[in-house]
Amino acid sequence: MRIEVLESAFDPWREVFKQESSLSPGSFGATAVFVGTMRDMNEGDTVTQMTLEHYAGMTEGHLSQLAQQVQADHEILDIVILHRVGTITPGDPIVLVGVWSEHRAEAFEACEKIVEYLKSQAPFWKKERLSDGADRWVEHNTAGPRQVLN
Amino acid sequence: MTITVRFFASLADRVGRREELISNEGIHTARDAWMHCVSDIPIPGNALVAINQEYSDFDATIKEGDEVAFFPPVTGG
């Protein structure tokens, strides 16, 4: 299991490959991956840059507790959660959640649960820079596809 | 009694600082800590509070050495 907040750019697909390489071949039958990427548009405005802030310590602690809980509840073999902080530009990856299990149902469910928890509970905040140079804080995340948290 | 009070994101911008150490015998709750630090700004309706890095509520009791953090709704992911 790997939970990390990163201050520099990362390649989510390379990280998935790296994490999967540590698993025994044949031990897993399903891999569910979510990658969140910065868009160049939000609420009708062009966004040129974004700065991500987090509450160091609380973030990692909560994500670790979550990952351990999800692993126990859903018979998950392994989990990777990586999240950027600092300044990024459109097209940069923000978050990676990868889940490995024997069967797809557990992998899909666990991956979605982690993503929804992360977006609604983990103490990260985004500040956007708009095309006119003005900065604004993102006030709320978009709603998830459905209720997955208890 | 010494408490570390922290502010994050837009709340830090609004109150003009990110951290403050307070020492006052009259502080019993997270709400008291806010009022002590930011007496001129009411607690925003959407503000969240964590005590020692766990989500809590404004009327939770705080004690010597605690870290109380105030922040807006989270927007990660």
Span A64-112, pLDDT tens digits? 999 999 999 999 999 999 999 999 999 999 999 999 999 999 999 999 9
A69: left (phi over 0), alpha (psi -120 to 50) or beta: alpha
Residue in A61, A119, A139 nearest the CB of B76:
A119
> Does A146 reside within a domain?
no
Tokens 């990024």 locate to A88
Q: Residue A8 is part of a domain; what is its CATH number? A: 3.90.1170.40
How much is the pLDDT for A127? 98
Question: Does B24 score more than 90 pLDDT?
Answer: no
Minimal CA separation from A107 to chain B, in Å: 19
> Does B16 reside within a domain?
yes
Q: Cβ contacts of residue A73 below 8 Å, gap of 6+?
A: A110
Domain of A119 in residue numbering reads as 2-21+28-134
What average pLDDT does this structure show over B36-53? 96
- pLDDT per residue over A4-21, tens digit each? 999 999 999 999 999 999
> Does A63 reside within a domain?
yes
Total domains present in chain B: 1
Minimal CA separation from B23 to chain A, in Å: 23
> Does A75 reside within a domain?
yes
Question: Does B48 score more than 60 pLDDT?
Answer: yes
Smallest Cα–Cα separation from A14: which of A85, A86, A93? A93
Smallest Cα–Cα separation from A118: which of A84, A73, A77? A84
Task: Share the mean pLDDT of chain A.
Answer: 95
Q: Is A65 on the interface with B (CB under 8 A)?
A: no
Residue A32: exposure state from Cβ atoms within 10 A (0-12, 13-18, ≥19): buried
> Does A129 reside within a domain?
yes
- Pairing state between β A2-6 and A76-84: parallel
Q: What is the ipTM of this complex?
A: 0.95
How much is the pLDDT for A146? 62
> Does B76 reside within a domain?
no
> Does B43 reside within a domain?
yes
Domain of B31 in residue numbering reads as 2-71
Q: Is A113 on the interface with B (CB under 8 A)?
A: no
Give chain A positions within 8 Å (CB) of B10.
125, 137, 139
Total domains present in chain A: 1
The model carries a pTM of 0.94
Give chain A positions within 8 Å (CB) of B69.
55, 58
Per the CB < 8 A criterion, the answer to whether A85 and A8 are in contact is: no
Q: Residue B10 is part of a domain; what is its CATH number? A: 3.10.20.30
Q: Is A87 on the interface with B (CB under 8 A)?
A: no
Taking CA–CA distances from B53, the nearest residue in chain A reads A58
Per the CB < 8 A criterion, the answer to whether A81 and A63 are in contact is: yes
Instruction: Verify whether the Cβ–Cβ distance A126 to B75 is below 8 Å.
Output: yes
- Give the pLDDT band (50/70/90) at residue A141: confident
